[in-house]
Structure 1
């Protein structure tokens, strides 16, 4: 009896038009992108990250051949944003896009860092011709590290202050030579979402900016604990606000420690003010 039932089911499935099978992933995606608990959605988020990293490895190999090496990080960021919107319904609302550096101009982009989910929102604001600055340990991660190495990411050893400053100086030279920008999280580590605040800023980004004599452009992502809160095991969906602040010039800033401290504190104060303004629950469309 069981064999007859199995044969009947198999025959019925074979009669399903191929178009239905082709639409099945889209149907499932539409049904489940707003469903599932913390573990399920965290797993899907990890899968999306690995897919994006694999795509990044492929892009890092093929785009330079096509003369489009400057688009590697930009296209991977956009791809990661797209698949997270499709499979987890996580999106963003960006204001202040007019403050991005114009084509052919370089800048140091600094952004607050709350959780690993930040890399999803990076896709909405990551500029073309921009490299990522990250902690040195990430280069040893499977797949993700391969992509970051191939895409010429800048790895800073934050445990070695002199080494970090030397690497920042080398990055500043590359900014002029390659006409690129840099994207960095100046807090140096994740601040979490439990409190709407910023950690003290590391100085590497600001040494880099003053040495390269390029502006600092702050990017502020609103607190999104109503969407994602790992401590409370909550993973929802929705759009979060991101604000791009006006550029802060560094041409007249000296490269001494006191001047760098003043610049870093000024940038942090502006970002904290913006963070508090855009992080109200009324402003964030969350579930």
Structure 2
């Protein structure tokens, strides 16, 4: 009897809180959010400890660079069941490219879940040097062969990236980076402009770039929302860098960005607000007069007013020439012709440019590649 009690009591002590949390999560979306965030972070903590154990053991048997692979799969196995999110992978064969620079879109801390699903063998993570001293996480990453980048200023960042390429070639391993540099979670399917660090590393090392795109999961996870569901992850074919130089890095970054945004829109579920927004736009468009008609009604008046004013010598127009468009309308017309990827760049350009300008003072530089591992969603 005592033997049965020794087995049953621990099971009862564990199952009761689990059952209570499960019931609470089903009853309230708010409770579900906090329960699942707690499960996610708790699983991350457990796997960090497991990672230290794996790093020590696998280093002794000569498999140090497979530690991230083992720990990533362990995390996905546990966390996907805990939070109810399953990932479907497409293009897994491209992950066998080695050595390579792997780049992925960075939406929030939940990205670690798709990393757990796709992280290949003999691959490491490039991360900012500050994470090296994080409890458990820093020790695990150091033992697992993470490549640390000093982001103090442009000169140190470039030297770190060049060294990272040499390390990657010497190990015959791959590196994972988030080229956006920070989280970009939003409802519409777009990405922030890429920093150039990942592409400098790939070009200097002469290795291909393998883009990885995770579906926009705004519908499942954002501040106050954490639902279960299925997400798609697509690995694009490797992009060679043979023959490219530093002068080609900017164009390469834009090319990879465009390919990844296209794939993101292809695999992501259209946001619900899209149809609603179009439905709201149509009535207003039908009720308002055509822009050309409005221009035709205004132009005669504008012409008569302009005729009554003295002409400026420096800006006299030739007979029969069309009126010059106003300066206030020019920015709007340019904005309407920009692609959505450029729109996202406009939204983030103030902070982006300030970070680049302040790079000499210790902030992020254009060559940096950030990696936010944990944190609350925006």
Q: Give TM class, smaller chain.
A: 0.7 to 0.9
User: 1:261 offset after TM fit, Å?
Assistant: 0.2
Name 1:101's counterpart in structure 2: 96
Q: Aligned Cα RMSD in Å? A: 2.6
User: 1:22 offset after TM fit, Å?
Assistant: 4.8
Give the SS at the match of 1:171.
Answer: helix
User: 1:91 offset after TM fit, Å?
Assistant: 1.9
Q: Residue 160 in 1 paired to residue 153 in 2?
A: yes
Considering fraction of residues, name the structure with more helix: 2
Name 1:45's counterpart in structure 2: 40
Residues in 2 aligned to 1:82 and 1:26: alpha-carbon distance in whole angstroms: 20
Name 1:3's counterpart in structure 2: none
Residues in 1 aligned to 2:13 and 2:76: alpha-carbon distance in whole angstroms: 22
- Call closer, same or farther: CA 1:98–1:24 in 2, change over 3 Å: farther
Residues in 2 aligned to 1:177 and 1:238: alpha-carbon distance in whole angstroms: 40
Q: Is the 8 A contact 1:91 1:121 kept in 2?
A: no
What are the ranges of 5 or more consecutive residues in structure 2 without an aligned counterpart? Answer: 272-378
User: 1:73 offset after TM fit, Å?
Assistant: 0.7
| Paired residues, number | 265
> How far does the alpha carbon of each residue in 1:63-117 deviate from its partner, in whole angstroms, 9 at most, with x for none?
0101211211111111111110232222200111122234xx3111000000001
Name 1:176's counterpart in structure 2: 169
Question: Structure 1 stretch 50-59 or stretch 132-141: which is displaced more?
Answer: 132-141
Q: Is the 8 A contact 1:172 1:211 kept in 2?
A: yes
What are the ranges of 5 or more consecutive residues in structure 1 without an aligned counterpart? Answer: 1-10, 283-287
Larger Rg: 2
Residues in 1 aligned to 2:128 and 2:270: alpha-carbon distance in whole angstroms: 32
Name 1:123's counterpart in structure 2: 116
Residues in 1 aligned to 2:217 and 2:60: alpha-carbon distance in whole angstroms: 39
User: 1:194 offset after TM fit, Å?
Assistant: 3.1
User: Normalising by the residue count of structure 1, what TM-score does the alignment of the two structures yield?
Assistant: 0.84
Give the SS at the match of 1:37.
Answer: helix
Q: Residue 250 in 1 paired to residue 241 in 2?
A: yes
Residues in 2 aligned to 1:14 and 1:150: alpha-carbon distance in whole angstroms: 41
Q: Residue 112 in 1 paired to residue 105 in 2?
A: yes
Residues in 2 aligned to 1:15 and 1:65: alpha-carbon distance in whole angstroms: 40
- Call closer, same or farther: CA 1:265–1:229 in 2, change over 3 Å: same
Question: Structure 1 stretch 179-188 or stretch 195-204: which is displaced more?
Answer: 195-204
Question: Structure 1 stretch 53-62 or stretch 36-45: which is displaced more?
Answer: 36-45
User: 1:175 offset after TM fit, Å?
Assistant: 1.4
- Call closer, same or farther: CA 1:15–1:278 in 2, change over 3 Å: same
Give the SS at the match of 2:245.
Answer: coil
Considering fraction of residues, name the structure with more strand: 1
> How far does the alpha carbon of each residue in 1:2-60 deviate from its partner, in whole angstroms, 9 at most, with x for none?
xxxxxxxxx9x99768368559858948x839745211211111111111111111111
Q: Is the 8 A contact 1:115 1:193 kept in 2?
A: no
Name 2:254's counterpart in structure 1: 265
Give the SS at the match of 1:172.
Answer: helix
User: 1:154 offset after TM fit, Å?
Assistant: 1.7
Give the SS at the match of 1:224.
Answer: coil
Q: Residue 279 in 1 paired to residue 279 in 2?
A: no
